[in-house]
Amino acid sequence: MLLQSWGNKIRVFPAVPSLWNNLNFHNWRTEGAFLISARRTNGKTEFIRILSEAGEPCTIVTDIQKPIFEGKRNFQTQQTAPNTYVIDLKKGEEVFIRNSDTPTTFTISPQTGDSHLSRVYNPFGKKALH
């Protein structure tokens, strides 16, 4: 739900339930030897960080509109389909993807639970007690 890697594409937050507004994860591994970190706040992806460990081709699918790709150099990117981008990452390089509204502070920190969720949703499948 948070990260998928198949068909030579990395998909970040591809199937997040609408109740899960605030999420983040750090250094999750995908096929192609990439480490992915990402943060979603108020139901909107704020940023994605990709670190290439092997220099394989990197294709990312993201819901970030008009993404900005930042790193230690100007990356060559190519949009190959809606919301799908190929990035020329080399081994050991990292890129941050964000939209123009997101500040450039890329931090991952513990998320507190949405208190209203405990009243309407139980992730363990049992009925919630009121």
One digit per residue, pLDDT tens: the chain, 130 residues?
899 999 999 999 999 998 888 899 999 999 999 999 999 988 999 999 999 999 998 999 999 999 999 999 999 999 999 999 999 999 999 999 998 776 666 565 555 555 444 455 555 555 555 5
Whole-number Å distance between alpha carbons of 89 and 126: 45
Residue 117 belongs to what H/E stretch? helix 117-120
Query: In whole angstroms, how far apart are CA 120 and each of 27, 61, 112?
Result: 31, 31, 17
Q: Does the pTM exceed 0.85?
A: no
Whole-number Å distance between alpha carbons of 61 and 91: 20
Q: Are 37 and 27 in contact (CB under 8 A)?
A: yes
